[in-house]
C-alpha cells in the first residue's frame, strides 16, 4: 500500500502560498568552504574571535537547564541592556537576532499595502521582512561612495509610508550617516512615520560625526534603534538582538514577538558578555578589528582601489558585472567573500592571515584591470 507521502492528495498539492511569499527573494547566507576544503571565510561579517572563556563557561552552565523554557521576556537581560545603553527597561525589547526584532517591529506597525522606504543596496533582509509583514517596499538608490541618500529617502515618503529603514553603517557598503544629516531627515519625515535606525555595527564606528541612537530616542518618539550582539560581541551563533524605542512602541513590538524567542543559553551568554570585565576584553578585540580594517583599507587604496570609507567590520568593492567572476576567483584562491550579483563584493575583516590572503587576491585583480 502507498503511504500518504508516496501518493499525495491532488487537493493538498493545490494549497496556495501567499503571493508575497511566492515572490520573496531568498536570503543568501555567506558561503562556506565546499567539502571541507581549507579557506578563509570572509563572507558573513562574523567576529573571527571565539567567545570569551567567561562566556563559554556561562553557556556550559546554562546548557544544563536546556529542558526548561527560558524567561519569556528575558527580564534580566532587558535590565542589563537598558543599563548598558542608558535607557529604561520599558524601552528595550529583545529577540532572536536583530532580523527577528525588525520583523516584529514591522508586524507591529505595518498594515497590508503600507509603504516601507529603505536604501538599496542595503541589508539583504529588508525586502524580505517588509514583504512578510505585508508591506510594499520602496527602494531608494545609494548616493556616491555607497552612502545613504537621506534627502532622496525623505522625498520618497508619501501618505502611504509607514516605516523608513536607515542602516548606519550601511551593510554592505560601510559608510555611516552623519548626525546633522539624520537630524534634517527626521525633521522632514512626519511624526507618524516610524524611523528604524539599524546600528548592527555600532561598536566599529569611529566617525565623530556619527549620530547617537540613544539621544535620537530622547528627542523623537517615532524612532526605533536596532542593535545586536552578533557582531562585536561574537554571539552570531546564539542570536540575540534588541530594539530600543518609546515604551508604547516597545509594548507593541513585544506583543507580536515570538514567545520564548531568545534561548536560556543565549540570554546567559549575553549577560556574561555585558559584565564589566568581559566588556573590557571585548572592546580590546573590537579595537584590534578596527585597526585591521584601517590597515586593509590603506593597503587596498595603495593598490589603487577606490573603496568607500567603512565604519563596519567589512569593506566594499563596487565591481558591477565583474562581481560573480571575482568572487569565484577569490574562492579558488582560498578566500570566501560575499558577492551581490551585478553590484559588488563585501569582504569581512577577519584574522590577520585571512586579510593578508585577500589583499593578495585584490592585488591580482588590480593588476589585471
pLDDT one-digit tens code per residue, 120-138: 999 999 999 999 999 999 9
pLDDT at 148 over 90: yes
Residues 74 and 137 in one domain: yes
Higher pLDDT, 34 or 273: 273
Cell digits of residue 126: 529588508
- Domain boundary at 274, 300, 320, which? 274
Is residue 20 in some structural domain?
no
Lowest mean pLDDT among 5-19, 91-105, 161-175, 352-366: 5-19
Tell me what the mean pLDDT of segment 55-75 comes to: 97
Is residue 78 in some structural domain?
yes
Going from the C-alpha of 181 to that of each of 43, 308, 366, the distances in angstroms are 30, 18, 34
Q: How many domains does the chain divide into?
A: 2
pLDDT over 70 percentage in the chain: 93
Residues 212 and 338 in one domain: no
Tell me what the mean pLDDT of segment 92-106 comes to: 97
Is residue 168 in some structural domain?
yes
Residues 218 and 321 in one domain: no
pLDDT at residue 103, rounded to an integer: 98
| Tally of CB atoms within 10 A around 37 | 10
pLDDT at residue 11, rounded to an integer: 54
Residues 229 and 148 in one domain: yes
pLDDT at residue 133, rounded to an integer: 96
Tell me what the mean pLDDT of segment 338-347 comes to: 96
Tell me what the mean pLDDT of segment 67-81 comes to: 97
pLDDT at residue 312, rounded to an integer: 98
Is residue 6 in some structural domain?
no
Tell me what the mean pLDDT of segment 20-25 comes to: 75
**Cα 204 from Cα 296, distance rounded (Å):** 15
pLDDT at residue 14, rounded to an integer: 75
Q: What are the pLDDT digits (tens) for 246-266?
A: 999 999 999 999 999 999 999
- For residue 369, give the nearest of 297, 287, 306 by alpha carbon: 306
DSSP-derived 3-state class of residue 149: coil
pLDDT at residue 3, rounded to an integer: 52
pLDDT at 298 over 70: yes
pLDDT at residue 34, rounded to an integer: 60
The band of 29, judged by pLDDT with boundaries at 50, 70 and 90, is low
Question: Which positions ≥6 away from 189 have C-beta within 8 Å?
Answer: 154, 157, 164, 195, 222
Tell me what the mean pLDDT of segment 152-179 comes to: 98
Residues 255 and 302 in one domain: no
pLDDT at 27 over 90: no
| H helix runs in 124-246, sequence order | 125-132, 150-155, 179-188, 213-219
Instruction: Specify burial of residue 15 (Cβ count, 10 A radius: 0-12, 13-18, 19+).
Output: exposed
- Domain boundary at 274, 307, 323, which? 274
Give the CATH number of the domain where residue 291 resides.
Answer: 3.90.1150.10
Cell digits of residue 232: 562585536
244's enclosing H/E stretch is strand 241-244
Q: Residue 175's domain spans which residues?
A: 53-274
The band of 22, judged by pLDDT with boundaries at 50, 70 and 90, is confident
Residues 302 and 249 in one domain: no
The band of 17, judged by pLDDT with boundaries at 50, 70 and 90, is confident
Residues 266 and 322 in one domain: no
Amino acid at each position: 500500500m502507498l503511504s500518504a507521502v508516496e501518493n499525495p492528495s491532488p487537493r493538498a498539492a493545490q494549497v496556495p502560498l501567499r503571493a508575497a511569499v511566492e515572490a520573496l527573494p531568498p536570503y543568501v547566507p555567506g558561503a562556506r568552504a565546499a567539502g571541507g576544503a581549507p579557506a578563509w571565510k570572509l563572507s558573513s561579517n562574523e567576529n573571527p574571535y571565539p567567545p570569551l572563556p567567561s562566556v563559554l563557561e556561562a553557556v556550559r552552565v546554562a546548557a544544563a537547564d536546556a529542558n526548561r523554557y527560558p524567561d519569556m521576556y528575558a527580564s534580566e537581560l532587558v535590565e542589563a541592556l537598558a543599563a548598558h545603553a542608558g535607557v529604561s527597561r520599558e524601552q528595550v525589547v529583545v529577540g532572536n537576532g536583530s532580523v527577528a526584532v525588525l520583523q516584529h517591529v514591522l508586524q507591529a506597525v505595518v498594515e497590508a499595502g503600507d509603504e516601507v522606504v529603505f536604501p538599496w543596496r542595503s541589508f539583504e533582509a529588508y525586502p524580505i521582512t517588509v514583504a512578510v509583514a505585508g508591506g510594499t517596499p520602496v527602494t531608494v538608490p545609494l548616493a556616491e561612495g555607497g552612502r545613504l541618500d537621506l534627502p532622496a529617502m525623505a522625498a520618497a515618503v508619501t501618505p502611504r509610508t509607514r516605516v523608513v529603514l536607515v542602516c548606519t553603517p550601511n551593510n554592505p557598503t560601510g559608510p555611516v550617516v552623519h548626525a546633522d544629516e539624520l537630524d534634517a531627515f527626521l525633521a522632514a519625515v512626519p511624526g507618524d512615520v516610524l524611523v528604524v535606525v539599524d546600528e548592527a555595527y555600532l561598536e566599529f564606528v569611529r566617525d565623530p560625526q556619527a549620530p547617537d541612537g540613544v539621544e535620537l530616542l530622547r528627542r523623537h518618539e517615532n524612532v526605533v534603534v536596532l542593535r545586536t550582539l552578533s557582531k562585536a560581541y561574537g554571539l552570531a551563533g546564539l542570536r540575540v538582538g534588541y530594539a530600543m524605542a518609546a515604551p508604547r512602541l516597545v509594548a507593541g513590538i513585544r506583543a507580536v514577538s515570538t514567545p520564548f524567542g531568545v534561548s536560556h543559553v543565549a540570554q546567559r551568554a549575553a549577560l556574561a558578555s555585558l559584565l564589566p570585565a568581559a566588556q573590557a576584553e571585548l572592546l580590546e578585540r573590537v579595537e584590534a578589528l578596527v585597526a585591521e580594517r584601517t590597515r586593509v583599507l590603506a593597503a587596498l587604496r595603495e593598490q589603487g582601489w577606490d573603496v568607500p570609507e567603512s565604519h563596519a567590520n567589512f569593506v566594499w568593492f563596487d565591481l558591477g558585472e565583474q562581481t560573480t567572476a571575482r568572487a569565484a576567483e577569490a574562492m579558488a584562491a582560498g578566500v570566501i567573500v560575499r558577492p551581490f550579483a551585478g553590484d559588488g563584493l563585501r569582504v569581512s575583516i577577519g584574522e590577520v592571515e585571512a586579510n593578508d590572503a585577500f589583499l593578495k587576491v585584490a592585488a591580482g585583480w588590480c593588476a589585471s584591470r
